[in-house]
Structure 1
Amino acid sequence: MSSNLKIQGARIFDGMGWHEDAVLVVEAGRIVSIVPENSAGCTGETVDARGHILVPGFIDLQVNGGGGALLNEQPTLQGIRKICEAHARFGTTALLPTLITDTCEATTAAIKAGVEAKAAAIPGFLGLHLEGPHLSVVRKGAHDPSLIRAMEEPDLDQLLACMQALGCLMVTVAPENTTIEQVKRLTDAGITISLGHTDASFLTACAYAAAGARVVTHLFNAMSGLGHREPGVVGAALATGTLFAGIIADGFHVDQAAMAIAIRSKQGPGRIFLVTDAMSSIGTDLTRIHLNGREIVREGGRLTLHDGTLAGADIDMLSSVRIVHERLGLPLDEALRMASTYPADAVGIAEQKGRLLPGTDADFIILTPELALKSSWIGGRKVFETTVHM
């Protein structure tokens, strides 16, 4: 399949608005234009998408695994390839493979694999998300407390050294184990700092946001809650306009009413966006997986340690979009923005991804009117197509 093509007849959402019976024109892997049907010339192939919906490909900034691979257990180029391929089957065309708190050796291996994946131009690989180890033991969640520690100079040097090679790097930290000065140095280098797994106060979270922290990791989960006298990290995430916040919409991590309240109350321009927090079970029939030597059980849509602690999520991005659209009642265009436009904005790649505008990467998916996936495209090339008749 050529990367020069036109896709015709679809209802197209470009990240901002809808185009009816339109044609998407792609050249050299980038969007050229969206024009009325029968008015577009193209030197490449023509794809008939009549009766379907074409939207920006999903961007997932927190993906622990998929297709049987967990980054912690397989911090290799092949592991990252498996993860990206697995999530393309559910509409995700760009993602950050995410390393949960682990040893220094595992972190180094994951960074090396990420640099290799970037150099190899693995379809769907956006960069890395290092979720820990500089978190709070009090809010550890499923993270191994024996591996949580303060950020030291060698850690900071390692992050600064790999940023340019990776292109996109997100690091989740807690103020309990990271200083404001360290956050400033990291964000000045272009690294996206996210606050998570922290019991910090509202004022502390606001101070870290002022220092450059840009995101909050899985809103509500593993953080100080919204109280009427101490608004906590949740309050800071909602009240601070510069902060974006990821949210897990599987129905287990956050109650639907809480999700709806948060979305309505979030101060902008920062927005709430969807993350899957997916584990290696996605795209497989696995019922048991392992993290740091501990068993995680998959049952009833949940992933838990043996003590009942949630350990990642068993959901894909397309299912997340359906949930916020169908159960929360969000307009479809807003649900789609939460899975593409807003995460692109959160990590500063809006000029390349998250919208189907001239010059952006031709990362898009084709859906049925019922929001079932027909195909996924990265850089104008089809990377997945369902074999089920629609």
Structure 2
Amino acid sequence: MTLILPDLLWHQGTLQKGFAVEWDGSGVTGLRLAEPDDRADACPHILMPACTDLQVNGSGGVMLNSDPSPEALAAIVTAQRARGTGWVLPTLITTTLDLMEQAADAVIAAWGMPGLLGLHFEGPYLSLARKGTHRAAFIRPFEPDMIPILARLREAGIPVMLTLAPECVPAQTIARLHDMGVVLSAGHTDATAEEARAGLAAGVSCFTHLYNAMPQMQSRAPGVIAAAIGSEAYAGIIADGHHVAWEMIALACRARPRPRRMFLVSDAMATIGGPDHFTLYGERIELRDGKLVNADGALAGAHVDMVTSLRHLIRDVGLDPEEAIAMASDTPHQAMGLPAPQIAPGRHRAECLALDADLRPIALPG
């Protein structure tokens, strides 16, 4: 038996001192209070559950849009787990109903795969004015044929997130999807503050990559961003240094009326653990100066992992470590209606994350 004595252990939503973690090389076998005569085999500064990412478009050289298969899901999850993200919500961006059904079939077939948390459909029921890199030709009104796809996933017990523009989907449809247990997230939206609040009242409980693909706040037009920040809904945000300025992340986090409603997302693409370019909608997307851009130089997803994003929150945004860790671990699970993961017996090594004093990942024994 190996003994890990972290300076700080993420335990029940806080960083705590004085714990000893028993370890057999493949995962946690015991958790107890440290004793004076304990001899450590490893002493990380922080030991926490691996990160959770609710927006992963691709990794390991694979885009889910290009290959909605169980093999692609495995490649994405494996690449993320190698980089400190233990749980992944693979994300299919705006596409045809046929590909959406294929992605649902793939997740159902792969369900039970360690690290596979569910499925995120980002679109296609979005605002054309705020489409971002999503293909305009595929953006459309909500279609009844989507209901059976979502129902099959939910009947299988699979968590599902659907990003939509609340001003583009009828309130009764939003309410029906909410009643099915689909987590509805407002994104790629041109909604006014009033339209966003109507979406929240109908069943929207989350916002997708806050600030991005949304109209920016104005003194007399607060818009969806102000409605999101002022609400008690959950909101994802990208912390890669390109999508949102550090000051704007800090502003959103500190202005929320209820704590622990912000969470990190990577918006990761195939370049994480893969080549420096890939194809989306037949267009080449490549990595330039740390960011992913299309032929016009516009942002097209992100090239960042969750551990790096967590470090950014603490070092660049200036958040308290407990607030930042919650954004990478507990809050994403809670946004999906799932219990937060804990360091506890049975927790596999790929579901544990050890960080040094500089907040960089370090290997655990075994």
TM-score by length of 2: 0.91
Q: Which residue number corresponds to residue 198 of structure 2? A: 207
Distance, in Å, in 1 between the alignment partners of 2:267 and 2:284 is 17
Aligned-pair distance for 1:257?
A: 1.1
Is 1:67–2:60 an aligned residue pair? yes
Q: Does 1:19 align with 2:8?
A: no
Report what 1:388 is aligned to.
Answer: none
Change (3 A) 1:80 1:370: same
Q: Distance in 2 between matches of 1:100 and 1:191?
A: 16
Q: How far does residue 21 in structure 1 lie from its aligned partner after superposition?
A: 4.1
Give the conservation status (yes or no) of the 8 Å contact 1:15–1:56: no
Q: SS where residue 204 of structure 2 aligns?
A: coil
TM-aligned CA distance change 1:216 to 1:361, over 3 Å: farther
Following superposition, the deviation at residue 34 of structure 1 comes to: 3.9
Per the alignment, residue 34 of structure 2 pairs with 37
Please say if residues 53 and 368 of structure 1, whose CA atoms lie closer than 8 Å, have aligned partners that are also in contact: yes
Counterpart position of 2:75: 82
Q: How does 1:337-356 map to 2 (within 5 A)?
A: 337-350=326-339, 353-356=340-343
* Alignment pair present for 1:322 and 2:286: no
1:178 paired residue number: 169
- Report whether the alignment pairs 1:8 with 2:11: no
Other structure's SS at 1:48 match: coil
Q: What SS does the aligned partner of 2:6 have?
A: strand
State the 1:224 CA deviation.
Answer: 2.3
How big is each residue's C-alpha offset from its partner over 1:17-60, in whole Å with a ceiling of 9 and x where there is no partner? 23324123689x99887421249xxxxxx993324421121010
| 1:157, distance to aligned residue in structure 2 (A) | 2.6
> How far apart, in 2, do the equivalents of 1:67 and 1:325 lie?
27
Aligned residues: 363
- Select 1:367's aligned residue among 351, 355, 365: 355
Contact 1:115 1:165 in 2 (8 A): yes
C-alpha distance in structure 2 between counterparts of 1:170 and 1:314, whole Å: 22
Residue aligned with 2:5, SS: strand
Equivalent in 262, 287, 290 of residue 279 of structure 2: 290
CA offset digits 1:210-248 (Å, max 9, x no partner): 11111100000001222221211101110111x111000
Distance 2:22 2:203 in 1: 38
Measure the CA separation in 2 of the matches of 1:268 and 1:100: 30
**How far is the alpha carbon of 1:306 from its aligned partner?**
1.0
CA change 1:86–1:260 in 2 (3 A) is: same
Q: Which moved more, 1:290-299 or 1:152-161?
A: 152-161
What aligned pairs does 1:135-284 form with structure 2 within 5 A after superposition? 135-241=126-232, 243-269=233-259, 271-284=261-274
Shift of 1:270: 5.7
Q: Deviations over 1:150-171 (max 9, x none)?
A: 1121112321222232521000
Query: Contact between 1:297 and 1:305, CA under 8 Å: does it hold in 2?
Result: yes
CA distance in 2, matches of 1:361, 1:300: 35
The 3 A distance-change label for structure 1 pair 269 and 167 is farther
Change (3 A) 1:265 1:308: same
Q: Percent identity?
A: 37
Q: Choose from 124, 127, 135 the match for 1:133.
A: 124
Summarize the Cα distance change of 1:331–1:33 in structure 2 as closer, same or farther, 3 Å threshold: farther
Q: C-alpha offsets along residues 289-338 of structure 1, whole Å, 9 cap, x if unaligned?
A: 11111111211111111122211100000110111111112122221111
Shift of 1:252: 0.8
**Shift of residue 15, structure 1, vs aligned partner:** 4.8
Q: Is the partner of 1:107 in helix, strand or coil?
A: helix
Gaps of 5+ in 1: 40-45, 377-381, 386-390
CA distance in 1, matches of 2:267, 2:356: 25
C-alpha contact (below 8 Å) 2:44/2:362 kept by paired residues: no
Question: In the TM superposition, what is the alpha-carbon distance from 1:6 to its structure 2 partner?
Answer: 7.0
Alpha-carbon distance change, 224 to 51 in structure 1, aligned in 2, over 3 angstroms: closer
Q: Structure 1 length normalisation: TM-score?
A: 0.86
CA apart distance, 1:372: 2.1
Question: Could you say what the CA RMSD is over the residues aligned between the two structures, in angstroms?
Answer: 2.7
Q: Give the match's secondary structure for 2:156.
A: helix
Q: Residue 131 of structure 1 contacts residue 173 of structure 1 at CA under 8 Å; is this kept in 2? A: yes
Moved more, 273-282 or 109-118: 109-118
Supply the distance in 1 between the matched residues of 2:97 and 2:143 (Cα, whole angstroms).
Answer: 12
Deviation at 1:356, TM superposition (A): 3.9
